[in-house]
A and B are shown apart, each in its own frame.
Chain A
Amino acid sequence: MKLRLWPQSLVARTTATLLAVLALVQIAGFTITALDRIRLQRFEQGRHLALRVMELYITVAKTPAEQRAELLRILKMPAGFSAQLSDKPPASLLISPLEEQRVIRLNMALVPMPHELRPSEVSLLGSLQEGRMMIGLRLPQGQWLDITATIPSPRPWYAPGFLIAFVVMTVIAGGVIFWTVRRLIAPVATLAEAASHLGRDLHAPPLPENGPTELARAAAAFNQMAERLRRFVQDRTFLLAAIGHDLRTPITRLRLRAEFIADDELRSKILADLDELETMVQATMAFGRTAASREPLAPIDLAELVRTVLDEVGDSKPELADNLRYEGPSHFTVHARSVALKRAVANLVTNAAAYGGGARVVLHPPSGENPQVRLEIDDDGPGLPPGDIESLFEPFRRGEDSRNRETGGVGLGLTIARDVVREHGGEIILSNRPEGGTRATILLPV
């Protein structure tokens, strides 16, 4: 079973745990203090009771026996006290606990009075805890003075300062816990942020390697990993570029040799194969280059760029020329790396033409709620294969039915396009259109 209220974030969890522990400690401390105070108050009540009782007793004892009844009637009793004269000791309650007896009797004995007045017998019934006590004192003349006292229950939290101090202490401790935990755990969030950033941009700046030792070590390890990753990707890229580079000479030779083949059909077929081979090499090298190329940003007419791409695709596939359309403003300036951006758009348009038999490109200039330029490349093809759309961006990955020669390609088009667009600070989103077909959306900051 999962705890519904258990928070997800590490800060919240740690804070919650620490606050719970703090609460337990506070409750325990509070209880101990309260018990202690109750004991103290009982003792105090015992002393108080003894003094009041003795005062009353002395007053009664000093009065002549015949006037005592009259005295008790008119005497002002302390709150909760009542007294009467009787011939026998009180008997309606149980005998008081020993501890209370000791306290009360000791305090009674400490009250100074002439020896002849002292009660010859004292009986204690009831208990402080139950809130009612009966004390019987035998007067020198043999009569009993029975005093009944109601004892208020102890109030351990009576002092307001105590409660305020407790609340203030709890609030401060809670605040300090929350602040410390947040500070301690903040680097974890930074690390997570850096890791996800590294996934998008391999050249993200390194983490600062300061702070507590453990965190500095984690940051250093992370930076080291990023560096190794960079080198690994770089090596791969170099390898790709080197292979592409080395293939140029044999392809050139083959092209030249093919020109001497007398059989026209055979020659044109060989040349077509070579074209395909070259396209693959070109794509591979373009992929290797995107990370390395640092073309400067310059103003370029995006609308014309799109139309130029459509024209070029149309020229190479005249049968599709009528299905390549542009909608949007006739001019729209963006700051971009023109060669790279053109390649990205061309890759998406080529995909749309290859899988969807055409492309409709719509340029949406930034509007109020959307500060980015949106370029939508739609086709009427079968749409994206079901499954993980993200995986389509992986290098050398192609849609299920594209392994055939018709659509060809190496599987780098989308990878390159996304690298380029991300380098511009934008994003590419692939989706299926509700009315059928695929939509590739390029978002570019202005």
Chain B
Amino acid sequence: MQARFDKMQQKATTLARGLHYSPFYKFMEQTPHILVVDDDREIRDLLARFLQLHQMRVTTARDAREARRLWTQGHYHLVVLDLMLPGESGLDFARWLRSESAVPIVMLTAMGEETDRIVGLELGADDYVAKPFNPRELLARIRAVLRRVSEAAEPRGQRAQVLRFAGWTLEPARRRLLNPSGVEVPLTAGEFDLMLAFAERPNRVLTRDMLLDLLRGRQAGPFDRAIDVAISRLRRKLEDDGRSAQLIKTVRGGGYVLAATVERG
């Protein structure tokens, strides 16, 4: 299993090296099928149209009950879930969904409601976009999550509450990075996504394209240099910016690797 994933990874790296950025779904056998759960009919329909425009198959549900019915009848690659649902709450539905399956979940959270977001991420949602969201950002997040899932090394299901490496602690739900003495070191949203991607795949090469994919949507105008800038800032914050970086190493040919053992807890 592990070997197979490593091979896939390598293949992706080689491909990316020669080609320009190619959408992840070219690697998938079929167009992804998305289940959108939102109580606003207009948003549901518009979002469906928007995602269809970008080569995705979309089914919509207005509340948790309908979503549950649709879930048992069909097969979905990803669920876009509004946490503010009438009747049964989005969080309850996410909990149920997690107990049923490891399907990736992208939450639509109320702007500024950190507790919902934290609980959602702790429940095992894969990502979130705050409402009112930018459709392109949502699209980028959906793609990034699908790509991450298709490349994931370990069986999905339970998400780590904390990731520890070289004394540092990463808390995905709270989106915090703590230094060895327990002091929070602030990260931008993009830096955090990069850090999480590294910590979830230690000792594996992440290509620039994959990293760019992560930054897309989080940051205004992602361009090639953005990755180098973000990496150098991350290294500075990890105090890894000496003459030769020890934690986040540069791989010749356009990639980076986190050289550390990651403990999950």
Contacts and interface: CB of A to CB of B under 8 A. Distances in A.
A333 B181 CA distance: 10
A300 B237 CA distance: 13
A196 to B, nearest CB: 31
A256 B111 contact: no
A282 B113 CA distance: 11
Contacts of A255: 132-135
Nearest to A306: B186
A289 interface: yes
B49 A253 contact: no
Given A257-B46, A289-B112, A300 B188 contact: no
- Chain B's interface size range is 20 to 34
Given A256-B135, A259-B50, A299-B182, A249 B187 contact: no
Contacts, number: 87
A347 B220 CA distance: 19
B110 interface: yes
A20 B202 CA distance: 86
Contacts of B47: 256
Contact of A338 (B186, B188, B237): B186
A311 B234 CA distance: 12
Given A248-B110, A312-B188, A301 B49 contact: no
B184 A301 contact: yes
Interface string B160-202: 0000000000000000100101111111100100000000000
B188 A315 contact: yes
A285 interface: yes
B184 A252 contact: no
B135 A259 contact: yes
Counting chain B CB atoms within 10 Å of each CB, which of A248, A271, A286 scores highest? A248
A158 B147 CA distance: 112
Interface in A232-258: 244-245, 247-249, 251-253, 255-257
A246 B133 CA distance: 14
B43 A249 contact: yes
Report which residue of A252, A257, A299, A300 has the largest number of chain B beta carbons within 10 angstroms of its beta carbon. Answer: A252
B186 A304 contact: yes
Contacts of A257: 46
Contacts of B224: none
A252 B133 contact: yes
A311 B176 CA distance: 17
A278 interface: yes
B188 A304 contact: no
A358 B136 CA distance: 30
A278 to B, nearest CB: 6
Contact of B111 (A248, A301, A315): A248
Contacts of A285: 111-112
Contact of B49 (A245, A248, A260, A316): A260
A152 B2 CA distance: 128
B17 interface: no
B112 A253 contact: no
A253 B43 contact: yes
Nearest to A286: B112
Contact of A308 (B42, B50, B186): B186
Contacts of A295: 114
Contact of B40 (A253, A259, A260, A271): A253
B208 to A, nearest CB: 18
A333 B183 contact: yes
Nearest to B176: A338
A52 interface: no
Contacts of A308: 186-188, 191
A185 to B, nearest CB: 47
A342 B187 CA distance: 11
B181 to A, nearest CB: 8
A198 interface: no
A298 interface: yes
A253 B133 CA distance: 10
Contacts of B186: 300-301, 304-305, 308, 338, 342
Contacts of B188: 308, 311-312, 315
Given A257-B46, A282-B112, A338-B184, A304 B220 contact: no
Contacts of B53: 259-260
> Nearest 9 CB-CB pairs, A to B?
A256-B46, A251-B132, A300-B184, A252-B132, A299-B183, A308-B186, A305-B186, A248-B132, A248-B131
Interface of B: 40, 42-43, 46-47, 49-50, 53, 110-112, 114, 131-136, 176, 179, 181-188, 191, 219-220, 233, 237
11 contacts: A252-B40, A255-B132, A256-B49, A259-B135, A260-B53, A274-B132, A281-B132, A282-B112, A298-B184, A333-B183, A338-B176
